[in-house]
Amino acid sequence: MGEWWTTGPIGTSVGNYEISNISHVTMSPSRQNNLASMYSSLPLSYNVLGAFCTEDNIPQCVSYINQELDALGLSTCIEASTPRAAGLNSVPALNAMYELMQIHRRHMSSLEELEREQLKKSSTLDHVQMNNSRLKDQLELSMREKSGLHETERQLQLKIKTLQSCLKTEKDEVQKLQSIIASRASQYSHDAKRKEREAAKLKERLSQLLVDRKDKKLAIDVLNCLGRSDGKRSHWRTAKATVGHEGEMYKSLLNDYEASQRTLVLENAELKKVLQQMKKEMIHILSPRKPSPRGATADDSQEQANSDGEEKAGDCSRETLDQSCEHAREQLANSIRQQWRKLRNHMEKLDSQASLVQTQLECNQELILRETHEDEMERMRREVQQCKEFIHAQQQLLQQQLNTSFDDETAALLNDCYTLEEKERLKEEWRLFEEQKINFERERKNFTEAAIRLGREKKAFEEDRASWLKNQFLNMTPFTDRRRCSSSDGQSALSIKSEPEMRMSSTKTPLVKSSTYTPFSTPKPSLSATVPSTTELYRSLRLMPDSR
Amino acid sequence: MNFSEVFKQSNQLCKVSPDGKYLATCVQYRLVVRDVSTLQILQLYTCLDQISHMDWSSDSLFILCAMYKRGLVQVWSMEQPDWHCKIDEGSIGLVSSRWSPDGRHILNTTEFHLRVTVWSLCTKAVSYIKYPKVCQKGADFSRDGCYMALAERRDCKDYVSVFVCDDWHLLRHFETETQDLSGLEWSPNGCVLAVWDSCLEYKVLLYSLDGRLLSAYSAYDWSLGVKSVTWSPSSQFLAIGSYDEKVRILNHITWKKITQFEHVASINSTKAVVYKEVEKRTAVGSDDLSLHNITIGTTLFNTQSKYEICPPPVQIPVVKPDPDRANPKIGVSTLAFSSDSRYLATKNDNMASVVWVWDMQKMSLVAVLQQTSAVRCFQWDPRRPRLALCTGNTKLYLWSPAGCVSVQVPAEGGLQVQSLSWHCSGDSLILLGKEQLCLCYMDQEDK
């Protein structure tokens, strides 16, 4: 149909009028507006449609329309009423138009429906979108809530843990207290039982005593009263004595306090001395050699501190005089603290300087420093070596000088002369010692001999006395002659017996000693067997009771 | 080191006279006095009954023998063997008897601690002291023998009476701030009296000679408290051992704690030397099994032991005491200072086989001696820092700062050493078994 359109605009005015007439005839009033709006919206097309059918091309138009109707599926055909007539068979044409209108109406309704559907769908879409956004907001909110709840849950868990640990400690404490209570309770019950047992015994004894009633009197039975241990007579207990006791007691207490105070004072003085020494040394360390690379203010403070220190050193002498003065003690302590602080600061500075120096290790400056350091070391080592050689040379020269002036003998003599005096003294002392030892030995021998002699004489005397008494006694009887002979025998027998007895007693002790020690380890070096021990002597002199 | 032969004794009653010359032992009802160096019997006395307690007077001239069952005390003289003295307490009974420091009075404590009777041997006079306290250590004499402190209890309150030993005049009588006084001890210089409470309350009170309270010390509340207290010989320190396994040292100037020693189960200190006793059985060769050797004897089956030095850390075996029993076996029960106050030896009851030696100058642990069985007794040499200990077997152990040695006691039949005591000169040791005793003479050079 495109060709028709191009020829359209030529005969528009005529076509318009015709088409509009046709449209007015067939249009139903209900659709008028729609169609009018449709038609008004397509004014051009009607112009074209007007161009479609003209007086000339009616059969072509008719056939074309028939074709189109066929294509649409409509059966009615349009015929021309007469060949070459401008009119048409109105019935098929009207049917065709009616069917076309039906089709059109159906299309319009479906269009409407579609539009309605589309509206509905768009509104549902809007609704759904709104829902979606609302739900998203809700979701976010709930997520936030969830995280908040997580947080609170965590905090509560933490609190639970701390409370649990508190509970555990409390439980432990309770257990400990319980065990303490248990041990105390067992101790108490033990003590109570003991006391009860004792009370029971007491009651028993009391009842026994009440029954017995024969009270054994307590008494002391001494052969003879003893003297006091210190040999003096015992005093009456008087008021003066009691006061004397009080005085004694206080005296001993005071002595003790004074002694402890003395030791404390000494200790105090020593410690003060040590502190002052420390202070002096600290001042010494801090003051002279400090290089002070910093400003003048540092120097000033240093000097002031020095002068302070010196002032305090001056104070020290005064301090030593009044040692017990609290003020002086505080002063000393404060000055020590000050010096110590300075020393510490100095050390810290040195430390930082050293660390700085270390950090500059990579720089060239460091190499130079080390080199100079090493040069210094070398120089010092050389100096030391030189000094050593010098000293050695001096020593040698001195030795040579000494040696050349004297020959060997006198040199040896000189070496000896220092010790000569001591040797002489020692010899003298040894001699004296030897002499004394000999004297002592001699005296001891004398003493023992005297003791033995005395013992022997005593025994002899006893024998004599015994025999004399016996004689006296026997003289009173008629059997004198026989007795006298036997008594003299007896006497001699007795005297003979005494000698070996003495010797036996003196030799008995070493035997006993050896029997004590032989089965076991090395015997203890004891007194020699030839001279009797002092205990034996005492025994023989009856200063000690005899062994049985 | 030499050992004497073995003698009989009963009741662990064996004492050297204070002047060091004589050794008195009790065998049933006999009192045997020997010379210390020769061990010859010098005197033999017979008492009326089995002797429960025996002691020398301070001047070594008299010996008292107490027979508690009969309520009798007999006193014997060394100078005059015929001299006799018999004190009969009568129906009132006797639980303890002791000399006064002047050697002329005897203090008898009657049964049930009703009173203390003071008998004078000079004047035959009698004095009474009422209400003595029944406790661990209720009476103590000062070292110079001038004063006696006696604990008393009246109306549920504790008192201390200080008597002048010269004439038994009551010098001071004061109440103590204790709940239940358990013991008292004079300081060696005689100026301070330490008084401690029972184990239910940790309290140590220090009183001056004239009865003023100088200081009170309490380390903690509620748990069981003080178990043992001892003074250092120089009176500078007071060592308090307690049930919490610690020893606290107080100083004599401020009476405050200067340090505490803990008995830990695992020792990490590198400065302390830990000696562990190691037993090894002697290998017996077949040719040794002659009859002679077997009869000589139990030495064949005795185990040799020596000390090994253990490097730290060392674990100490701990025995947990029964929590339900009273007086549990836990805590520091024995403390002893060496004579120069330089060392302190302690024993903790739940580590019963270990002796700990602490240096008082450095206030730290110096040595730990771990034995194979529970330590029964230890004592310092009175002259030098040398500690002797025994564990109930046939060995004697000695520790000195130079080292530690274990010596087998060569006694026929095996003497199980239950307790020991030094002679006052520090030259010999008396070893007591159950029914036997043996003397050990040390070498004269420092060992």
Is the CB of B147 less than 8 angstroms away from the CB of A521? no
pLDDT averages per 10-residue partition of chain B, 447 residues: 87 92 92 91 92 93 93 91 88 90 92 89 86 90 93 90 90 92 94 93 94 94 91 94 94 93 90 88 53 47 78 89 86 94 94 94 93 94 93 92 90 86 92 91 69
Q: What is the DSSP letter of A475?
A: H
A273-296 average pLDDT score: 71
| B274 and B399 belong to one structural domain | yes
Residue A240 touches chain B, beta carbons under 8 Å: no
Residue B296 lies in a domain: no
Question: Residue A440 pLDDT more than 90?
Answer: yes
The CA-based angle B361-B246-B376, given to 5 degrees, is 90
Residue A239 touches chain B, beta carbons under 8 Å: no
Q: Quick check: B18 and B2 in contact, CB under 8 A?
A: no
Give CA–CA dist B307/B294, Å, rounded.
27
Q: How far is B270 from chain A (nearest CA, A)?
A: 31
| B18 and B109 belong to one structural domain | yes
- Res B5: pLDDT: 85
Q: Please give the share of chain A, as a percent, with pLDDT higher than 70.
A: 62
Give CA–CA dist A110/A338, Å, rounded.
109
Helix axes A296-321, A326-359, angle to 10 degrees: 150
| B196 and B59 belong to one structural domain | no
Q: Quick check: B229 and B135 in contact, CB under 8 A?
A: no
Is the CB of B410 less than 8 angstroms away from the CB of A224? no
Q: Is the dihedral of CA B326, B329, B331, B332 positive or negative?
A: positive
Contacts with A235 from chain B: Cβ below 8 Å: 167
Please give the distance of CA B334 from its chain centroid, rounded to a whole number: 9
Question: Is B3 exposed, middle or buried, given 0-12, 13-18 or 19+ CB atoms closer than 10 A?
Answer: buried
Confidence of residue A330 (pLDDT cuts 50, 70, 90): confident
Give CA–CA dist B325/A184, Å, rounded.
10
Q: In what order do the strands lie in the sheet with B226-231?
A: B226-231, B237-242, B246-251, B257-262
Give CA–CA dist B439/B16, Å, rounded.
11
Pick the residue with more confidence: A185 or A112?
A112
Range A511-523 burial, b when 16+ CB lie within 10 A, else e: eebeebbeeeeee
Residue B57 lies in a domain: yes
Pick the residue with more confidence: A430 or A282?
A430
The CA-based angle A223-A228-A232, given to 5 degrees, is 135
Give CA–CA dist A234/A29, Å, rounded.
168
Query: How far is residue A78 from each of residues A51, A90, B136, measured CA to CA in Å?
Result: 19, 8, 149
Question: Residue A475 pLDDT more than 80?
Answer: yes
Q: Quick check: A331 and A315 in contact, CB under 8 A?
A: yes
Contacts with A525 from chain B: Cβ below 8 Å: none
Residue A192 touches chain B, beta carbons under 8 Å: no
Residue B387 lies in a domain: yes
Is residue B308 within a helix (H) or strand (E), and if so which, with residue range? strand B303-310
| B140 and B233 belong to one structural domain | yes
Query: How far is residue B381 from each of residues B168, B356, B366, B388, measured CA to CA in Å?
Result: 34, 16, 18, 7
Question: Is B418 exposed, middle or buried, given 0-12, 13-18 or 19+ CB atoms closer than 10 A?
Answer: middle
Range A299-316 burial, b when 16+ CB lie within 10 A, else e: eeebeebeeebeebeeeb
Q: What is the pLDDT of residues A25-53, one digit of tens each?
A: 444 545 555 555 554 554 445 555 567 77
Give CA–CA dist A136/A128, Å, rounded.
12
Q: Please give the share of chain A, as a percent, with pLDDT higher than 90.
A: 31
Q: Which of A181, A185, A161 is nearest to A173 (CA)?
A: A181
Is the CB of B5 less than 8 angstroms away from the CB of A235? no
Pick the residue with more confidence: A55 or A36?
A55
Please give the distance of CA B129 from its chain centroid, rounded to a whole number: 26
Domain tally, chain B: 3
What helix, strand, coil percent values describe chain A, rounded to 5?
A: 80, 0, 15
| B138 and B101 belong to one structural domain | no
Q: Which of B155, B136, B237, B113 is nearest to B196 (CA)?
A: B136
Is the CB of B58 less than 8 angstroms away from the CB of A187? no
Residue A219 CB contacts under 8 Å (≥ 6 apart), including other chains: B87, B88, B90
Residue A209 touches chain B, beta carbons under 8 Å: yes
Residue B258 lies in a domain: yes
The CA-based angle A72-A78-A79, given to 5 degrees, is 155
SS3 state at A524: coil
Give CA–CA dist B247/B260, Å, rounded.
5
Residue B333 lies in a domain: yes
- Res B113: pLDDT: 87
Beta strand extents in B121-263 (DSSP E only): 126-130, 139-141, 147-154, 157-164, 169-175, 181-186, 192-197, 204-208, 213-217, 226-231, 237-242, 246-251, 257-262
Residue A177 touches chain B, beta carbons under 8 Å: yes
Question: Is B143 exposed, middle or buried, given 0-12, 13-18 or 19+ CB atoms closer than 10 A?
Answer: middle
| B249 and B366 belong to one structural domain | no
Helix axes A12-26, A43-52, angle to 10 degrees: 100
Contacts with B299 from chain A: Cβ below 8 Å: none
What helix, strand, coil percent values describe chain B, rounded to 5?
A: 5, 50, 45
Q: Which residues pair with B395 in a beta bridge?
A: B408
> Residue B222 carries which side chain, given as an amino acid letter?
W
Residue B430 lies in a domain: no
Query: How far is residue A471 from each of residues A464, A482, A491, measured CA to CA in Å?
Result: 10, 11, 11
Is the CB of A223 less than 8 angstroms away from the CB of B3? no
Q: List the single range of A266-270, A289-293, A394-398 with lowest mean pLDDT.
A: A289-293
- Terminal-residue alpha carbon distance, chain A: 175
Both tokens of A161, joined, read 């843990």
Best mutation target among A180, A191, A196, A229 (most B Cβ atoms within 10 Å) is A229
Confidence of residue A423 (pLDDT cuts 50, 70, 90): confident
Pick the residue with more confidence: A443 or A221?
A443
Question: Residue A317 pLDDT more than 80?
Answer: no
Question: Is A499 exposed, middle or buried, given 0-12, 13-18 or 19+ CB atoms closer than 10 A?
Answer: exposed
Q: Quick check: A495 and A463 in contact, CB under 8 A?
A: yes
SS3 state at B305: strand
Does residue B279 come out as left (phi exceeding 0), alpha (psi in the -120 to 50 range) or beta? beta
Residue B187 lies in a domain: yes
> Last residue of a domain, which of B94, B128, B162?
B128
Is the CB of A177 less than 8 angstroms away from the CB of B222? yes
| B62 and B197 belong to one structural domain | no
Give CA–CA dist B320/B323, Å, rounded.
8
| B156 and B205 belong to one structural domain | yes
Give CA–CA dist A237/B125, Å, rounded.
13
Is the CB of B325 less than 8 angstroms away from the CB of A245? no
Pick the most confident of A114-123, A190-199, A281-290.
Answer: A114-123
Q: Given the structure tokens 């004394």, which residue do they identify?
A: A436
Q: What is the pLDDT of residues A158-170, one digit of tens each?
A: 999 999 999 999 9
Question: Is A116 exposed, middle or buried, given 0-12, 13-18 or 19+ CB atoms closer than 10 A?
Answer: exposed
Is the CB of A245 less than 8 angstroms away from the CB of B171? yes
- Count CB pairs under 8 A between chains A and B: 156
Q: What is the DSSP letter of B121?
A: T
- Res A495: pLDDT: 42
Q: Around B330, how many Cα atoms within 13 Å sit in the side-chain half-sphere?
A: 20
- Res A212: pLDDT: 72
| B11 and B112 belong to one structural domain | yes
Question: Residue A300 pLDDT more than 70?
Answer: no
Is the CB of A220 less than 8 angstroms away from the CB of B325? no
The shortest CB-CB distance from A547 to any of B3, B41, B410 is to: B41
Q: Quick check: B390 and B419 in contact, CB under 8 A?
A: yes
Confidence of residue A536 (pLDDT cuts 50, 70, 90): low
CATH number, domain containing residue B170:
2.130.10.10
Contacts with B42 from chain A: Cβ below 8 Å: 545, 547
* CA R_g for chain B: 23
Q: Quick check: B33 and B78 in contact, CB under 8 A?
A: yes
The CA-based angle B292-B294-B297, given to 5 degrees, is 110
pTM of the complete model: 0.61
Both tokens of B198, joined, read 């029972």
| B267 and B257 belong to one structural domain | no
Residue B78 lies in a domain: yes
Q: Print the domain residue range for B217.
A: 131-262
Q: How far is B86 from chain A (nearest CA, A)?
A: 5
Both tokens of B349, joined, read 């009851």
- Res B92: pLDDT: 82
| B135 and B62 belong to one structural domain | no
- Res A3: pLDDT: 46
| B158 and B258 belong to one structural domain | yes
Q: What is the pLDDT of residues A351-370, one digit of tens each?
A: 999 988 888 875 656 566 67
Give CA–CA dist B55/A32, Å, rounded.
154
Range A207-244 burial, b when 16+ CB lie within 10 A, else e: eeeeeeeeeeebebebeeebebbeeeeeeeeeeeeeee
Residue A516 CB contacts under 8 Å (≥ 6 apart), including other chains: B4, B5, B38, B39
Is the CB of A221 less than 8 angstroms away from the CB of B441? no
